[in-house]
Amino acid sequence: MGSPPPSSAPRPSPPPSRRSVLRGAAGAGAMGLLAACGGRSDAAFHADAGPWRRYAGTTVNFISENTAPTAAIAADLKPFTELTGIRVNIVTLELSALAQKVALDLASGNGEYDVVYADPYQVLAPYAPAFADLREFAEDPGLPRLPGGFDDFIPTHLDAAGRFGGDGKILALPYDCPTMVWQYRADLFKRYRDRMADDLGFDPMPSDDTTWEQYYAIATWFNDKTDAVRYGTGHQAKQHDALMCDFSNLLWSYGGDYFDGGTRVGRIGTLDPGPCRLDSDAAIAGAEFYQRLLKIADPGSRTWDWDGLGAAFRAGRIAMCPNWHEYAASNEAAMPGKVSYARLPKGPARSAGMYGGTGIAVSDVIPERRRQAAWLFVNWATAPKTQVANLASKVGGGTPTRTSVYEMPRVTAAQHRPSKMANMLSATAVKKTWRSDTIGLRPKIPMWAECDTAVYTQLSGMLAGDASPESAMRAASSRIDRIVARGWVN
């Protein structure tokens, strides 16, 4: 792909209190005094220069997870530096380490990081008050316009990765968008299509009408009827954030969710999501099917996160799997022409695929001119031209988050082989998944990291045979209710 979606293990130590973050954000709003106390100077400023050149001589610090677009941008910062005269220092970390670094920086008011990879769950939701409202920069006539405006971003991305709460603020611009889709060996499905159809009584080729029960039957057929692969399906079912992601696709497809109003909680976010609903009949039914599916999946699944699953698929060990779409690039490199992509199967309620995208934000714990210089980078890094360059980068491979990019003839053509933008081979499946009725959004709440741990811990016990689906879901629900009732640390 170049890089997997956000990772979450191990979890960082408890973050600083919400009160301290609010205090830091308030201080930053008061002339940037906390940032000044931290020792970082304000940005250089040239009043007579053009909008892109007014902060020439400034250095902007960007902290990011080691993602595909960041790898591409880091490999070619020259266009931005030539445009603005601004140097960019990029620090890349595993996500949990990033979340801890950002939390400490915001709480201290040091303002070490100007631009932040604001994971919606570990960074944006817990520390929303410490990020600038990007509308102030987009509306400033003294700053370069945002090409295409906010409306050019895919709506579900702008909400899920860019907002928190219902105040209308835009705190981050969508930067990456890994999404779970059905990845399958098209060569094997083509070879065995007629035999499978005769044996199973339905056309096995993945389509929008395929159900999870049919997926199960196809996987079983590969297990029993051919030696072309060792197993029909594999999953990212390690005791890890990956397990929560994998299971959630089934949870939503069966009509379950983590909280009432799950779409709102996942898309906009909230401080108070209400009682957990993992103990509902629909959620338990989803867990029962997931347990049954994993019993016929590759046994290695319980040791794999998304990387392990991707490696097993590329090695020819399994015929199909749900995984993040940005593995398309590495799939194509390992098995050129052999892999295709579809929206995930539908359950009794709907089809749903987990969205794992993140935006980049401007810290509010820095002086005003430094915020404006940081905005220039955020604007450039998410611009259509930059997103196309990332898509074609040999070291990147990130997928665009803007509607206009998908309408470019060069990008449209790349959705078909031969393609120099291999991630675009999954574009049809991904765009179907991004619709408001099919996108899968985990809860965007400040305490989600701890809730996530509760979910995958109980699921792991269920898969090991230590708990029934019903008891696992009820235990997870009870634990999440206690976490939410305790709220954010004061």
Gyration radius from the chain CA atoms: 23
Q: Quick one: pLDDT at residue 480?
A: 98
| pLDDT digits 0-9 by tens, 164-219 | 998 999 999 999 999 999 999 999 999 999 999 999 999 999 999 999 999 999 99
| pLDDT digits 0-9 by tens, 100-126 | 999 999 999 899 999 999 999 999 999
Helix/strand/coil for 408: coil
Q: Quick one: pLDDT at residue 27?
A: 41
| pLDDT digits 0-9 by tens, 366-424 | 999 999 999 999 999 999 999 999 999 888 778 999 999 999 999 999 999 999 999 99
Contacts of 418 (CB under 8 A, 6+ apart): none
Cα dihedral: 252, 258, 263, 266 (round 10): -120
Instruction: Decide if pLDDT at 319 tops 50.
Output: yes
Instruction: Decide if pLDDT at 20 tops 90.
Output: no
Q: Is the dihedral of CA 279, 7, 386, 377 positive or negative?
A: positive
Tokens of 174: 């969508």
Helix/strand/coil for 61: strand
Q: Quick one: pLDDT at residue 377?
A: 98
CA nearest to 159, candidates 269, 273, 268, 271: 268
| Annotated domain spans of the chain | 18-178+356-407, 181-353+439-486
pLDDT band at 6 (very low <50, low <70, confident <90, very high): very low
Give 219-244 as a DSSP string: HHHHHHH-SSSSEEE----STTHHHH
CATH fourth-level superfamily of 181-353+439-486:
Periplasmic binding protein-like II (3.40.190.10)
Helix/strand/coil for 317: coil
Q: What is the CATH number of domain 18-178+356-407?
A: 3.40.190.10
Contacts of 99 (CB under 8 A, 6+ apart): 12, 15, 119, 122, 123, 449
Mean pLDDT of 227-252: 98
- Averaged confidence pLDDT in the chain: 91
Q: Quick one: pLDDT at residue 321?
A: 98
Instruction: Decide if pLDDT at 7 tops 50.
Output: no
Q: Quick one: pLDDT at residue 488?
A: 60
Are 18-178+356-407 and 181-353+439-486 the same fold in CATH? yes
Q: Quick one: pLDDT at residue 166?
A: 86
Tokens of 152: 């050019």
Residue in the block written with tokens 């991707």: 310
Burial environment of residue 98 by CB neighbours within 10 A (0 to 12, 13 to 18, 19 or more): buried
Helix/strand/coil for 343: coil
Q: Residues 387, 366: contact at Cβ < 8 Å?
A: no
Higher pLDDT, residue 489 or 261: 261
Q: How far apart are CA 138 and CA 447, in angstroms?
A: 31
User: β-pairing, 358-362 with 115-118?
Assistant: antiparallel
